[in-house]
Amino acid sequence: MEVGYRYIDGAYFYEKEVGRAIREKITDGMVKRQEIFYPGKPWSTFNTPEMVLSALEKSLKHLQFDHIALCIIHTPLSLKTMEACKDTELVKSIGVSNFNIRQLEMILNKPGLKSLTSSSLRRT
Residue numbers annotated as active site: 14
Burial of 13 (0-12, 13-18, 19+ CB in 10 A): exposed
Phi-psi map region of 15: left, alpha, beta (phi>0 left; psi -120 to 50 alpha): alpha
Determine the length of the chain. Answer: 124
